[in-house]
Amino acid sequence: MVRLHISDGFRSSMTWLHTWAGIGASCLLFMIFWMGSLSVFDSEIDQWMKPELRVTAPTEEFQYGPVFERLLEGEAHGATRMYISAPGKRDPLGYFFYRNKGGENVRGRFDPATLEEVEVTDSYAGTSFFYPFHYSLHIPQGIGYWVVGFCAMAMLVLMVSGIFIHRKIVADFFTFRPQKALRRSTLDLHNLSSLVALPLHILFPLTGLMIFATIYFPWSYNVVYGGDDAQLNRDAGRAGLEASGEPLNAKLDIDAIVGQALSRWQSAEPGVEHRADSVGLELAGDANAYVIVREVFPSRAVSMSKNVLSVSVATGAILAESNAGPAQSAYAWLSGAHYIQFDSRALRWLYFAGGLLGSVMIASGLMFWMQSRIRKGVIDPKSVRVVRGLAVGSVSGIILASGAYLVVNRMLPAEAAAFGLGRAGLEVSVFYLVWVLTYAHAALRGKTSWAEQSWAIGAVGIAAVFLNWVSTGDHLVATVSDRVWPIAGMDIVLIAGSAAAVWSALKLAQRQPTVQRPSKEQPEAFDQAAARAIAATEPAE
Amino acid sequence: MPETVASIGLFLLAGLLAFFGASFLALSQDRNVHRVLGRSVQDKRVSMMRTTGWLLVFVSLIPCIARDGGSFAALLWPLLLAAASIATAMLLAYRPQWLTPIAKVGWKNHIGA
Amino acid sequence: MGIFLKGRILTDRLSVVLDNRLYRVCLGIFGGYAFTAGFFAFVSVLLAQAGAARIEAFFWAILTSFLVYTAVVIWAVATAQPARVTGVLIGGALVMVLSSPFLATPTTGL
């Protein structure tokens, strides 16, 4: 019914574009999607990996004033800037940051009930390892953002070219034939996973690029301001003042300023409940000191908040306020949809599943290409080993490494240190070590490495659940009955993931065709049987 | 939304409507009917199955909006439809017989002997 | 006659380069980037000139630029006239990049 009337020349150019963009970007895209899927639950992963965070979220309204007071009168006396982030539902300890008199940056977590600093397990966990991996691949010097951005553009090009290549989008929409030859069912799975969530597969790379737009077009972005950075800051709600050098002559009343911000936001937008997510004090002790109040991620809206207010401490005057028009509001919705910090359990699980579906799309596309090339004999056997090694390591390898990361986290003691690395560094080293080994394993073992790594993933998942029980006492029965959902959810996903990995390993073992050795008496019969087998694997197009 | 009975109920309602919408749409295609019932349909017109399927798909938007508002529904609805489509495709692939009741209901009076 | 032949040989050689897939991909990636960077600056400046608040113009540019980049890459790969696309992308990029700073409204203390 719906047939795109495009010329063969166009379709063939789209085909090679899709193929080459896939060859170039699919391994990296799988890593980005896998880490992105994990990042949906990054706070929960934090709680699993850093058991000090397994406290119930505070129920009372959080007051910023006491935290600022305590720090400024205590260890942060003389600090020039200080930022406090409120605890949240998924992240029950608050964050503090200040730059002290010596110019050093100090940061940590605090318990909102006692206002005491909490020593948390030294681990990068989800928010500081998996999440940055997603948007930068941990490639330093800002190069990582460009690599990920290139992959995101490749993905957009892949999606558009894929639509043009696919001939029978409607007729084949629900088609998945696992009983057929591997290449056919792989292609079916690739098409299915791409089509059912097509708008979303386009939305995420697009919004990711938008979020980093000022990195990708650094000189273009403030051309419209004619280089007037101060005005750009003010339009964004940041006062951006310089120190005057004179001392502050007024009392700092953080809570009054926060209250002022909240009442302004509430009257501007009465339908939504507003909350100050972070409060910053700049130029502390100076006459020009000001407070920035930000609402970043409202819990009951998709849009990230555009609410930023800068208030002078000395005069109480509003120095800068953000005023979002339609374009900024659209951007806020789109970036909020990507960041997924809003409070919706249903969407969070669906996002996780969607991310995994995208990962399946990428992996199945890569597999299909690999199988086609190997079948056609276009790649020589040595290169097949390399290509397969890269594919296996990038797909099952990174999954296995992620599981190993969780396992080692539950095994290392709090004060672990070795080779000049702290505990957090050791955990990350194990991740990379295991990951590199999976590439080597895949190159050495060839086709069987898929199943073998799947078995390993199954084992590692169960080991992680077991070690969580042994090291923290929070086993699944207890966490479910006590409704500690972040930990229960993690254990359940680990168990389900292990089950899926074991099922895959069994299926992969089934697929190994039993090769009949050609007997000397019947060489022709073998040739005929081989010819039939090859004919059976042709896709029915 | 705080997990009230209403929010869970609306989610399930949206999910079920999306699933039936997807399976009706799938079963409005001859090859899928063949897979489930083992025989083709005789009536080749754009069927009630397809119209009903689209209707169910769009109606599933309503509980999404009722649950969380339009802003969230813009994300929840496509995700639910994706899940429903995957579920339908997996049933067609692995357990086509489970879709027999839907096929029979939708195609009664039109199935060849 | 000799000059005419030389011209033909040059354009033939050029079209071999231009028809090349690698060339098209590079055109799409780098030419597209230059064009999009120019577009970003140019469209934000244009909208500000047309009366939009500058921060709004800035966000319109963010919202549209990556769609433009994607379309340009597809165009560069699919076109039957790579020379024309080269001209549009490089020329357009130059025009937009060079003119934008001059079209930006001076700071009015808005």
Partner A contacted by B78 (CB < 8 A) = yes
Is A387 part of a structural domain of the chain? yes
What is the DSSP code (8-state) at residue B99? Answer: G
Dihedral of alpha carbons B11, B13, B19, B22, sign? negative
CA A206 to chain C, closest CA, distance in angstroms equals: 7
Kindly tell me if the per-residue pLDDT of A517 is higher than 70: no
pLDDT, mean of residues A443-468 = 94
Split at pLDDT 50, 70, 90, the class of A513 is: low
What's the pLDDT tens digit per position in B18-76? 999 999 999 988 888 888 888 777 665 557 888 999 999 999 999 999 998 899 999 99
Residue B73 lies in a domain: yes
A422 and A280, same structural domain? Answer: no
pLDDT(A527) > 90: no
A26 and A91 belong to one structural domain:
no
Question: Are both A118 and A135 inside the same structural domain?
Answer: no
Each residue's pLDDT tens digit, A191-229: 999 999 999 999 999 999 999 999 999 877 678 887 777
Q: Do both A108 and A247 map to the same domain? A: yes
Task: Give per-residue pLDDT as tens, A291-345.
Answer: 999 988 887 888 888 788 888 888 888 888 887 889 999 999 999 999 998 888 9
Question: Considering chain A, what is the average pLDDT of its residues?
Answer: 87
Could you report the predicted ipTM of this complex, rounded to two decimals? Answer: 0.93
Of A223, A232, A327, the CB nearest to C45: A223
HSE of A49, CA atoms in CB hemisphere, 13 A = 27
Helix or strand or coil: residue A280? strand
- The reply to whether residue A13 touches residue C56, judged by beta carbons under 8 angstroms, is no
The pLDDT score that the predictor gives to residue C6 is 65
Which residues of chain C have a CB within 8 Å of the CB of A10? 78
* Confidence category of residue A284, pLDDT binned at 50, 70, 90: confident
Q: What does chain B come to in residues? A: 113
Residue at token pair 């608050």:
A94
A330 secondary structure, DSSP code: H
Residues A477, A482, A487, A489, CA torsion sign:
positive
Nearest CA in chain A to B22: A174
Give the highest mean pLDDT range of A185-194, A261-270, A527-536.
A185-194
pLDDT value at position B110? Answer: 59
CB contact under 8 A, A302 and B74: yes
Rg of chain C over Cα atoms, rounded to whole angstroms, equals 18
Instruction: Give the pLDDT score at C3.
Output: 56
Mutation site for A-interface testing, chosen from B25, B71, B77, B80 by largest number of A Cβ within 10 Å: B71
pLDDT at A520 over 80: no
Query: Does residue B28 sit within a domain?
Result: yes
Contact call for C and B: 3+ CB–CB distances under 8 Å? no
User: Would residue B18 count as lying in a domain?
Assistant: yes
If you measure CA to CA, which chain A residue comes closest to C97? A220
* Domain assignment present for A219: no
pTM given for the model: 0.88
Q: Which domain holds residue A155?
A: 8-52+131-211+345-536
Say how many domains are in chain A: 2
Looking at beta carbons, which residues of chain A come within 8 Å of B25?
Answer: 174
Closest-CA residue of chain C to A328 = C59
Q: Is residue A519 part of a domain?
A: yes
Whether pLDDT at A275 is above 70: yes
Identify the bridge partners of residue A81 per DSSP, sorted by sequence position.
A99
pLDDT (0 to 100) of residue A537: 47
Q: What was the pLDDT predicted at A116?
A: 86
Min Cα distance A177 → chain B (Å) is 6
Do both A428 and A497 map to the same domain? yes
pLDDT score at A119: 85
Task: State phi, psi for A293 to the nearest 5 degrees.
Answer: -105, 130
Chain A's closest residue to C74, CA to CA, is A157
Buried b (16+ CB within 10 A) or exposed e, C3-30: eeeeeeeeeeeeeeebeeeeebbebbbe
Cβ of residue B11 closer than 8 Å to a chain A Cβ: yes
For the stretch A158-188, pLDDT in tens is 999 999 999 888 889 999 999 888 899 999 9
In a domain, B113, yes or no: no
Vertex A293, ends A287 and A297: CA angle to 5°? 160
A327 within domain boundaries: no
- Residue B107 Cα, gap to closest chain A Cα (Å): 19
Q: How much is the pLDDT for A238?
A: 82
In a domain, A271, yes or no: yes
Of C62, C80, C100, the CB nearest to A223: C100
Q: Are residues A113 and A137 in the same domain?
A: no
Q: Quick one: A39 and A161 in the same domain?
A: yes
- Whether A373 is in a domain gets the answer yes
Q: Are residues A94 and A161 in the same domain?
A: no
- Spans in chain C with pLDDT lower than 70: 1-8, 10, 14-19, 105-110
Residues A41 and A81 in one domain: no
| pLDDT class of A526 with cuts at 50, 70, 90 | very low
At A112-152, the pLDDT tens digits run 888 888 888 888 989 899 999 999 999 999 999 999 999 99
- Picking from A196, A207, A344, A361 by the largest number of B CB atoms within 10 A of its own CB, the best residue to mutate is A196
What domain range is B91 assigned to? 5-106
Of the pLDDT bands very low, low, confident and very high (cuts 50, 70, 90), residue B3 is low
In a domain, B111, yes or no: no
Residue B13 lies in a domain: yes
Residue A116 lies in a domain: yes
Q: Are residues A485 and A441 in the same domain?
A: yes
Query: Do residue A224 and residue C57 have CB atoms under 8 angstroms apart?
Result: yes
Sort A444 into a burial class: Cβ within 10 Å, 0-12 / 13-18 / 19+.
Answer: exposed
pLDDT tens string A35-45: 999 999 999 99
pLDDT reported for residue A532: 56
**Distance linking the first and last C-alpha atoms of chain A:** 18
Please report whether residue B77 resides in a domain. Answer: yes
Q: Which residue of C has its CA nearest to A12?
A: C78
Q: How many domains does chain B have?
A: 1
Q: Residue A144 and residue A132: Cα distance in Å, rounded?
A: 10
In a domain, B112, yes or no: no
Structural domain contains residue A158: yes
On whether both A349 and A496 belong to a single domain, the answer is: yes
Q: pLDDT: is A252 or B66 the higher one?
A: B66
DSSP B68: H
Place of tokens 């020039």: A80
